[in-house]
Chains A and B, each alone.
Chain A
Amino acid sequence: MTRVNVKVDGTAYSDDVEPRLLLVHYLRERLGKIGTVVGCDTSNCGACTVLLDGLSVKSCSVLAVQADGSSVTTVEGLSGPDGTLHPVQQAFHDNHALQCGFCTPGMMLAACDLLRENPNPSEDEVREGIEGNLCRCTGYQNIVAAVQAAGAAMSAAGNGTAAESAVSDSIASVSAVEASA
């Protein structure tokens, strides 16, 4: 067993875990963070995508111990404390970018990371940017529209929302990690 200290959606956790435990299983089975789901076992589908220190990762491809000292944002931490939807969540709703909703958490978090890098992506840039996340229901068209709409809304609003500041905090910590590396 190995000790991990990790902050998930703003709450600090300290747990002994098997070294082989994947982050996604840690989130789901130990922390009850069932908003994050498992869709495949080969890192292809992206359903388990979370933000690790602000950057999107497929949590099936990260060991829980690798998240030690890090901050994780899951779909459950995306909206503000008052329940206000994150602009990406709002845009997915407005654009009917989800049907069954199983890919949606991972898709939205991948979109967050894409928009962090490129706040106003073109259609092709969105399609390339989310190609690591599979959706079987929507044909992607409305997802692409939603990501673009979210980008526009976030650009227009600046860095106003609480959720974004949570993500910004994570990014700040990743910057620190990068700096120390």
Chain B
Amino acid sequence: MTTIEDRPDVAEGPAPEIGQPRKRKEDAHLLTGRTTWTDNLTLPGMVHLAILRSPMAHARITSIDVSGALERPGVLAAYSGRDFAEIQGNIPCAWPVTPDMVNPGHPSLAVEEVNHVGEAVAVVVGRDKASAQDALEAIDIDYEQLPVVLDMEAALAPDSALVHAHTESNRSYTWIFDSGAAGTGAPIDEVLGQAEVTVSRRFLQQRLIPAFMEPRSTVVQPNGEGFTMWSATQVPHILRTMLSLTLNVPEHKVRVIAPDVGGGFGGKLQVTPEEVITALVARKLGKPAKYTESRSESLMSAHHGRDQIQDITITARRDGTVTGLDVHLYADMGAYLRLVSPGVPVLGAFMFNSIYKFDAYRFVCEGVFTNKTPTDAYRGAGRPEATYAIERIMDELATELGMDRMELRRKNWIRHEEFPFTTVAGLTYDSGNYEAATDRALELIGWEDLVAEQAERQARQDPVRLGLGISTFTEMCGLAPSRVLGALSYAAGGWENASIRVLATGKVEVVTGVSPHGQGHETAWSQIVADQLGVPFEDVEVIHGDTQSSPKGLDTYGSRSLAVGGIAVVHAADKVVAKARRIAAHMLEASEDDLEFAGGAFSVRGAPGNSKSIQEIAFAAFAAHDLPDGMEPSLDADATFDPDNFSFPHGTHLCAVEVDTETGVATIRKYVCVDDIGTVINPLIVDGQVHGGLAQGIAQALYEEAIYDEEGNLTTGTFVDYLLPSAADLPSFTTDRTVSRATSNPLGVKGVGEAGTIASTPSIVNAIVDALRPWGVNDVQMPCTPERVWRAIHQGAEKSGRDPGGTVSWGGASTTTSDGSTVGPLDGSTSETADGSTSGTSDGSTSGTSDGPSASEGDQL
């Protein structure tokens, strides 16, 4: 047993683990290939699934016959949606954002109708994956094509075709916040009416795909009336409860395990049709079953993210004081509502006002159905969209006012002495120091020199221009206070659970309800517990991701793990220390009040030589020979923490982007971010989280877009077409931090998982637009591809943006030439002619959709 004497530094206590750049405990098995990805798992007698997916965006299944597949070698069974129609239930939506929200229902295996390309229509079960896959072609299925709904605005027109025939319209919900009605600010109409300066813009959040590196995989082992599921999920606990409800299996008969999970980014925050189908098949056959998706299946059927049309109006006084903010969103739900689809854009409601002090604010969000893959959480979930719009329009307002962009922000942001500050959206920001983060970032990037260089390049008409980008952002993290979620109609709470078991030898097991998939919680939680209990970092084992061994939790998303789950660990540790204190007092024959606990040992105040280590106390509790009367022989404790408030990380992200005006290529020369995430547990992990977040935010600005053609085909359904940046596409980042402790939790932590993604996108686009201001450009549609940048320069901003006919909002598949004719698709098969007009490739003459189902859009082209 480790004793206190073994640790020479105990007099001062060991150096705190919190703040140390500890290398990760998680790495050992990942570096050596001893991994437990779900697809690595093989169970005796296991069968393998292959799924037939719809090639149609919207069609009625007029007939389906799976018997042909059964004739193929190695095929055990084949099922269509009709075989499971009575028992498959619906994919759950846990966030009915309004009482009248329309949820059309979401069968896992389509029964009567398909509503997006990639929707599952049949499943084949084989002795191995290849047998099942080969037999898919033997399924006989007839579709009757239905009108395809793709453009959100057209979808809301009274004469629009319907995605779901049984609904009245394609509107799922309209969610409204008005500061006048809420009592958090003035009525918006009053402020808009009195505005000295008004700037309105339409910004587009293109559709993105989370694109976690590990494709989703599920294994189900039937077990009596229940089952065990291994799945590549972020949310084993939510999945267990939801599967129980969906499949009508008692919750205590369902066990869900998230083994090694290869990234999620919100994309694995879901109850997926594939998980339900695998469970249905395994239970039907009484055999363990595995389904692993291919990448192309993943890209077209795993949920997407973003996809909003943002109409935003900002008003200000001539001196630059902002007064009102009016936001109207169209948010594309895709074909169905999944777990939190409707809530994602609504989360943005609290973030459009960002760090600025507005008198009045209105937010209206319309959730719209289209014949596309459902959208749901993707890193940041609602907050990147909001941050993008406000940071872009602050630049536009500054331009309108002729004011320095940073000066405008300084004039309007919450000063550090004003915290805590209740915003016009009704949230109370507890802490922050925007001045400090901004000053540090300006210094790190060498702002003044860059401004001078920009002017110099313009003066000599350099074809490569410099653009400078700013994003001063905040975010709401630590989802979430349960009562707030309740007020927002979310079905569950936002608490988190942890328990600590102190073993006989003084080693410690920490059971956490969060479910890491790359974030390094085993390392960070070990550091926290090492400090709380005064035990060595190496003596802590973190247990997670199995509803049997970590039975309570709400999992990992929304930068909540540390700010909620980590605090549950702290509270559990407090309880352990309290129990240990009682035993220590008994052992030391002292009053509990006279004991102090430091460095893992209790000593009597004023008599430092007389002490008992936590390990000695653990053994005493284990032996239980001589405990205080009535005391249970255990130091173990658990805690459930429900935060009072969100946490509010913030930061200033600056970048310098070189834009080649001849080719349209935008290259990031320097990127500096100074983030304030409160207390840092492990700076190595924090920098890693920021780097990865930046990469994803920059990818939205420059590279990624999920594109549908006019028939609703996802044309970016492989990694050939959906452009994930490689190492060669990204720069090195300069990261730094300021620390304003969160006041809402005892560690002062705020969360870091989403900061980089939320902040970086507007910084990049602001830089590109800044470079192009001399050409009168005031927007470039994301992703800012060389073609779009070039068009903005040579044809004006409106030609780079969303076509009035609605092309880009359903995917940018076609564009309009200067003579008004339509050609496309935009990506790949258009070419520039000498006079700047576009011409299609041989088969690219997709002149609108006049003969197609979406003629109402085509007519406008």
Contact = CB atoms under 8 A, between A and B. Distances in A.
Binding partners A and B: yes
A55 interface: no
A39 B33 CA distance: 15
Contacts of B39: 37-38
Contacts of B294: 41
Nearest to A103: B213
Contacts of B33: 33-36, 74-76, 78, 105
Nearest to B24: A96
Given A34-B40, A45-B719, A102-B214, A89 B295 contact: no
A36 B27 CA distance: 16
B691 A89 contact: no
B672 to A, nearest CB: 13
B420 to A, nearest CB: 33
A34 B693 CA distance: 29
Contacts, number: 174
Contacts of B728: 127-128, 131
A134 B726 contact: yes
A131 B727 contact: yes
B213 A126 contact: no
A39 B27 CA distance: 19
A153 to B, nearest CB: 15
A100 B267 CA distance: 14
B719 A44 contact: yes
A34 B691 contact: no
B684 A96 contact: yes
A94 interface: yes
Contacts of B730: 127, 139-141
A95 to B, nearest CB: 9
B26 interface: yes
A121 B729 CA distance: 17
Contacts of B733: 139, 141
B691 A39 contact: no
Interface string B26-55: 111011111101011000000000000000
A92 B27 contact: yes
Contacts of A93: 23-24, 27-28, 31
Residue with the greatest number of chain B CB neighbours at <10 A, chosen from A76, A85, A99, A133: A99
Given A37-B37, A42-B718, A44-B719, A99 B688 contact: yes
Nearest to B688: A96
Nearest to A46: B726
Nearest to A86: B31
A12 interface: no
A107 B733 CA distance: 20
Interface string A50-92: 0000000000000000000000001110110000010001001
Interface string A105-126: 1001000000000000001001
Contacts of B130: 18
A165 interface: no
A144 interface: yes
A135 interface: yes
Interface stretch (B108-116, B256-264, B589-597): B256-264
Interface of B: 23-24, 26-28, 30-35, 37, 39-40, 128, 130, 211-215, 260-263, 265, 294-296, 517-520, 684-685, 687-689, 691-696, 718-720, 724, 726-730, 732-733, 756
22 contacts: A34-B35, A34-B37, A35-B34, A37-B214, A38-B215, A41-B296, A42-B295, A42-B720, A44-B720, A44-B724, A89-B31, A92-B31, A93-B28, A96-B685, A101-B518, A102-B263, A128-B727, A133-B727, A134-B724, A136-B695, A139-B733, A141-B730
